[in-house]
Chain A
Amino acid sequence: MSTAAAARERFLKRRSFIELSARARARALLDADTFRELLGPFERLKSPWLPLQGVVTQADDGVVIARGLIAGKPAVIAAIEGRYQGGSIGEVSGSKIAGALELALRDCERGAPVRPVLLLETGGVRLQEANLGLAAITEIHAAIIALRRHVPVVAVVGGIVGCFGGMSLAAALCSTLIVSRHARLGMNGPEVIEQEAGVAELDAGDRALIWSLMGGEQRYATGFADALVEDDIDAISAEVRQAFVQPPAAARTEQVERFVERLARIDMQQPPTPQLLRGLWSRADLP
């Protein structure tokens, strides 16, 4: 079989990450038969704020916390369900992620490392819980930064929703960031930019433009992500395992001078196109 034919064969046999629920993604990334869900749907820990606004709740508030093993080592996965409320972060869903990371930190400090993985598919803060969603995101950030000193924290962005708002900062804070070609990663979603700054600033309906700015391939090519994968849970699983064996030497967010220097090269009188930026900020520049 030719290389091209082999690649096509692999593509056809792949298991799509996008098509799986958050629960199924977490199960697939953990070693076989080790998945154990914490605060599962039968606990009925739902948003206390949505019913007051006539919004339908979900029994897990859109986040799955799962313990299990990754390559034989204790792990915890926090997986956001993008199909519920756009994966938005409310008090309960956000506290589930923050709380799980805080417990992983406690174990690491006791000398019992836990491998943390975040599957991020979210528009950011749930506006119906506004300030409590933002507070939870702050706690998620704090936990990632503290935990990263002990163990690599790995994030995957591969769902249809993308990863936006304060949770895009969470993705950027992780030791290793894995993105798929379908991913979009940005602080402000295209619709929000169009609303705030007008359609001349950004046409949220222009898919090619959106992906050229914040799509997974562009993010990888310009050094904002560590691995680029197809929509394939097995490929993602392999990258997750690799991230714990060979983590990057330093987090991007700690390399301030390097990134400030990169930014100083940008002439705002003639801002680069996404394609030109790939030349200006190639991966070869990064450690």
Chain B
Amino acid sequence: MSAASPFPQRGLEWFRALTGQEGFAAAGPRTVRVADAPLGGETARYIAVVPDAMNRFPRARQGEVGVDEAWALARQVRATMAADAGLRARPIVAIVDVTSQAYGRREELLGIHLAGAAAVDAYASARLSGHPVIALLVGKAVSGAFLCHGYQANRILALDSPEVLVHAMSKQAAARVTRRTVAEVEQLGERIVPMAYDVHSFASLGLVHKLIGGINADAPTASDLERVRVELCAAIADTRNGSRDLARRLTSGAARAVRGASIEVRRRLAEQWQGP
């Protein structure tokens, strides 16, 4: 079916490659895939959001995170937490290839903002209760969809590939909203690093734990998969040795260089917090 699909399926290809499964859940939409697979001597739970041309929400058929998808993410992550209660918390790997959130009037009426918040809450709660949560960016990681699926991870890994794009809004929409052409938006990204779309620029903000280069991102070979598994294991080990919050994102050399204002705001707030 993937060959016939008009939509990008990279997330699904990586999900299949890493788990050897299709990952349909017993209940819930066909767009949220979940499977357990061995990883470094333990079992990891992999989760992906994929396109479905038959989705009951027409605005969420091309890999968007819609109302059903976001609630399903919340449900699957919380089910993982419940299954491991009192046991060693298994790693959760979010395979990220999400076009955007779903834009539609039904989505708004039915509260896509709450659905998204529930997904964010579930991932953050899993992280806080000791599950190593790793995001693996294999395609698009755009805006609200990335917030819902991946951005709360302890560590973000990304394939070094031109199709891995991270942004707050699609180029076309950003161009319309800021009254620029798409070419102007692209040029601006070359000058102003947080406005860029490519994964190198994103990594330069200090938000990526590791960029994984030299991988065939469209059709991973066995050795590609092995390398990615090694990096996943390293990120999991690093997570278990670190804190459960997101503080790491502000301490890397890259963050100190580019996110100086984020750090300075916190430093001065702490100074003034207790008052005279």
Q: Is A25 interfacial (CB-CB < 8 Å)?
A: no
Given contacts A173-B121, A195-B173, A263-B110, contact A138 B147 (CB under 8 A): yes
Given contacts A43-B268, A253-B121, contact A132 B275 (CB under 8 A): no
Please, which residues of chain A bring their CB within 8 A of the CB of B159? none
Q: Is B117 interfacial (CB-CB < 8 Å)?
A: yes
Contact at B147–A99, with CB atoms within 8 Å? no
Which residue of chain A has its CB nearest to the CB of B108?
A186
Please, which residues of chain B bring their CB within 8 A of the CB of A134? 143, 146-147, 151, 167-168
Which residue of chain B has its CB nearest to the CB of A130?
B168
Contact at A256–B122, with CB atoms within 8 Å? yes
Contact at B168–A188, with CB atoms within 8 Å? no
Contact of B177 among A135, A195, A256 (CB under 8 A): A195
What's the Cα separation between A277 and B106 when bound, in Å? 11
Q: Is B61 interfacial (CB-CB < 8 Å)?
A: no
Contact at A142–B246, with CB atoms within 8 Å? yes
Flag the segment in A12-20, A161-169, A226-234 that touches B. Answer: A161-169
Given contacts A45-B268, A130-B194, A201-B104, contact A266 B110 (CB under 8 A): yes
Please, which residues of chain B bring their CB within 8 A of the CB of A127? 168-169, 174, 177-178, 195
Q: Is A285 interfacial (CB-CB < 8 Å)?
A: no
Contact at A131–B168, with CB atoms within 8 Å? yes
Please, which residues of chain B bring their CB within 8 A of the CB of A130? 167-169, 174, 194-195
Contact at B74–A253, with CB atoms within 8 Å? yes
Task: Give the interface centre of B75, B124, B259 by most chain A CB atoms within 10 Å.
Answer: B124
B contact patch SS: helix
Flag the segment in A3-11, A88-96, A238-246 that touches B. Answer: A88-96
Q: Is B245 interfacial (CB-CB < 8 Å)?
A: yes
Q: Is A146 interfacial (CB-CB < 8 Å)?
A: yes
What's the Cα separation between A146 and B120 when bound, in Å? 12
Q: Report A251 CB to chain B, min CB distance, Å.
A: 7
Within 8 A of A (CB), among B120-161: 120-122, 124-125, 128, 143-144, 146-147, 151-152
The 8 lowest CB-CB distance pairs between A and B, nearest first, are A172-B117, A168-B113, A253-B121, A196-B103, A95-B265, A132-B194, A187-B113, A99-B266
List residues of chain B with CB under 8 Å of any chain A CB: 28, 56-57, 59, 67-68, 71-72, 74-75, 78, 100-101, 103-118, 120-122, 124-125, 128, 143-144, 146-147, 151-152, 166-169, 173-174, 176-178, 188, 191-192, 194-196, 201-202, 205, 207, 245-246, 249, 259-262, 264-266, 268-270, 272-273, 275
List residues of chain A with CB under 8 Å of any chain B CB: 36, 38-39, 43, 45, 47-49, 52-53, 65, 67, 91-92, 95-96, 98-100, 102-103, 125, 127-139, 141-142, 145-146, 165-166, 168-173, 185-188, 191-193, 195-197, 201-202, 213-214, 222, 224, 251-254, 256-257, 259-260, 263, 266, 268, 271-272, 274, 277
